[in-house]
Structure 1
Amino acid sequence: MSELDWQACVEQMATGLAVIDTDMRLRWINPALAEWLEWGPRSALGQPLAGLLGEATGQAQRSLAQQRPVQLRGVMLTAVSGRQTRVDIALQPLDGGLLLEAHALAESPSGQSPLSATLRGFAHEMKNPLAGLRGAAQLLQRRVVGDDLQALAGLIIDEADRLGALASRLLHNDGAPKLAPMNIHQPLQRVADLLQAEPHPPRLRLDYDPSLPDLRGDADRLQQALLNLARNALEAGARTLTLRTRAEYGLRLGEGVARMALRVDVADDGPGVPAALRDTLFEPLVSGRVDGTGLGLALSREIAHEHGGELRYASRAGDTVFSLYLPLEPGHD
């Protein structure tokens, strides 16, 4: 293909494309992206990338500095007229800059958050694999010998059922948590069992306060939130995890103060949260890893908010703690 043919092909693509220079300014933009933004292709040249990506520009700077691809999901592009288009963006390092690809997303149902819309799509895709996983685990459970192996197969079946139930809720727009009296140590112990069943399990320290009262919560969702926090720590390089529970008094949660709250800590000895990620750590569908989905921490925070609680963290090298705070009374002042 000649250079002229290549240029004609690129200009006819529906995918938005741009080339960013090392000063984080637009060096080239194709007609599709210019049309979304209602910019003239020539007038766009030299425009700062911050006008396109806003706070996510820091992700682009990190992609260039580390020479690593970065995925930004659910980014809102605002045209000159104010019309908005939600897109997924891929940033790929080039010689002397970055290649930006923007893929438009389907419109979400009215009132649905980008995170929830994406999770519904994910739920649809995982239903069939979960059914196959459950069926295979059932066959294994019938054939293996030994209580330990049968217990592991049972763990797979239980987790497939739990994830299948979560997927069904999302697909049927039944997004509200199913609150019932529960003890927080039940989902915590389940998380510990899942981590210990991995091929290379981390060192686990359990530091529970057995005197904590029950709370009203959705055990499946809280388990998912805590499992996300644990896996996030392991993917970041932690080797030791501490699961800890404590009571807190007079804690401000949201716009009120909880007379008594429960705190669940997931502490790790990993390298800590990079400074470049701290401002956007909980943003949905943003990941600094090539294979990252950007769902884990965003979903965990959403689950905390559903329960009237909060998710906070403190981090330094060798000592990172994510704390899930949940009110222990029906309401708080």
Structure 2
Amino acid sequence: MNEADWRTWAEQMATGLARVDAELRLQWINPALAEWLELGPRSAIGQSLGLWLDEAALAQASRALAEQRPLQWRGISLVAASGREITADIVLQPFEDGLLLEVHALAASLVTSSPLSATLRGFAHEVKNPLAGLRGAAQLLQRRVDTEDLRSLAGLIIDEADRLGALANRLLHHDGAAQLGPVNIHQLLERLSDLLQAEPSPPQLRHDYDPSVPDLLGDADRLQQILLNLARNALEAGAHTLTLRTRVEHGLRLGERVLRMALRVDVIDDGAGVPVALRDTLFQPLVSGRADGTGLGLALSREIAHEHGGELRCTSRPDETVFSLYLPLERAHD
């Protein structure tokens, strides 16, 4: 992509983007970020990044530039021209002789206490009875069908109903604390593959596993739910091919923390991509790109990632959307 095409693409983004030079002065800003910071895109050129960030954050940005390494912050405050504070997640990436600044402004409900857990407990209460009926019907089918393949599919329904029932019970039990234990992520991904192959029109699956990935400490049912949500989301976006990829990363920065060793699980699809209008609110409760969508799947997935000390991120363009789940590994091996 040449410079002109890149700028055209960036100016259409709902995500706030800016480029700063080696002196941390603004070279370019897209309309979305200019609007949040109450700046004129042209008059802002030459302003110091220090007008928006405090001294500690500015020092970290200088260090990231000097060391040519990416930097990520969660929940950092930016100061608009009027003095109004904006809380945002920020990513700084080395770019040519300076840095590319990516800003995701957070809604006020996510900055303070999120209502998501209460919403999910209500949802969990509502699904318990349908799950019980689903399980009972699957048991009847399992006893009446003649072939082993059909009995196996009925057993898959029963197992999933039990897993979702247990998940609902934990969400309903005060704070729904995670049940931690050793988790083999590849077993969860293979389980996901089995579930997807049982779909009426199963996608083509590709596996790109790092065999050196160790077990992690987590709640297997909840992590399985993240993977299932991501795959369902891809299929609903028209994906025909899913790639499931695992990697180990070292020195990963999540907000103000640096993880010595982390697992990255990528769910990559060839669907239509995330609409530009939804990219900044994609993980918020009740946000959906479909008329019949609940907007809970991705919000739940990010909440589960956070309770594991991890993060869920997305990059998207037509024909290639990547949801990346990051989970700490050092907790399982300290």
Asked if the contact 2:272/2:318 (under 8 Å) is kept, the reply is yes
**Paired residues, number:** 224
Aligned to 1:157: 158
After superposition, what is the alpha-carbon deviation per residue over 1:200-252, rounded to whole angstroms, capped at 9, x for unaligned? 11111111112211110101000001110111111111111111111111101
How far off is 1:270 after superposition?
Answer: 1.0
Distance of aligned partners of 1:258 and 1:144 in 2 relative to their CA distance in 1, 3 Å threshold? same
Q: What do residues 9-59 of structure 1 show as CA deviations (whole Å, max 9, x unaligned)?
A: xxxxxxxxxxxxxxxxxxxxxxxxxxxxxxxxxxxxxxxxxxxxxx9xxxx
- Identify the residue that residue 242 of structure 1 maps to in structure 2: 243
Q: Structure 2: give runs of 5+ residues left out of the alignment.
A: 1-35, 37-111
In the TM superposition, structure 1's runs of 4+ consecutive aligned residues that sit over 2 Å from their partners are none
Alpha-carbon distance between aligned partners in 2 of 1:183 and 1:117, rounded to the nearest angstrom? 30
Alignment of 1:283-298 (within 5 A): 283-298=284-299
Instruction: Give the distance between the partners of 2:323 and 2:173, measured in 1 at CA.
Output: 31
- Partner deviation per Cα, 1:160-196 (whole Å, 9 max, x = no partner): 0000001111122241111101111111111111111
**Alpha-carbon displacement from aligned partner over 1:128-185 (angstroms, at most 9, x marks no partner):** 1111111111111111122211111110000000000011111222411111011111
TM-score, normalisation: structure 1: 0.64
1:327 aligned onto 2:317: no
Q: 1:259 to 1:204 in 2, by over 3 A?
A: same
Where does residue 307 of structure 1 map in the other structure?
308
SS in 2 for 1:286: coil
Is the alpha carbon distance of 1:183 and 1:268 closer, same or farther for their aligned partners in structure 2, counting shifts above 3 Å? Answer: same
Quick one: which amino acid aligns to residue 288 of structure 1? G
Kindly state the Cα deviation for residue 331 of structure 1 after the two structures are TM-superposed: 8.5
Instruction: Could you tell me which runs of 5 or more consecutive residues in structure 1 were left unpaired when the two chains were aligned.
Output: 1-54, 56-110
Q: Give a deviation string over 1:252-271, Cα, whole Å, max 9, x none.
A: 12321111111100000112
1:147 alignment partner AA: E
Q: 1:249 to 1:183 in 2, by over 3 A?
A: same
Q: Which residue of 1 aligns with 2:146?
A: 145
Counterpart AA for 1:142: R
**Matching residue's letter, 1:164:** G
CA distance in 2, matches of 1:296, 1:273: 14
* Counterpart contact for 1:270–1:320, Cα < 8 Å: yes
SS in 2 for 1:287: coil
**Which residue is 2:59 aligned to?**
none
**Aligned partners of 1:256 and 1:332 also within 8 Å:** no
Query: 1:203 and 1:258 mapped to 2: Cα distance?
Result: 33
Equivalent residue of 1:231, what SS?
A: helix
Return the TM-score normalized by structure 2. Answer: 0.64
CA distance in 2, matches of 1:312, 1:159: 26
Tell me what 1:317 maps to. Answer: 318
How far apart are the structure 2 equivalents of 1:250 and 1:176? 28
Q: What is the correspondence of 1:1-333 to structure 2 with a 5 Å cutoff?
A: 113-330=114-331
Percent identical residues:
81
Partners of 1:112 and 1:140 lie apart in 2 by: 44
Matched AA of 2:252: L
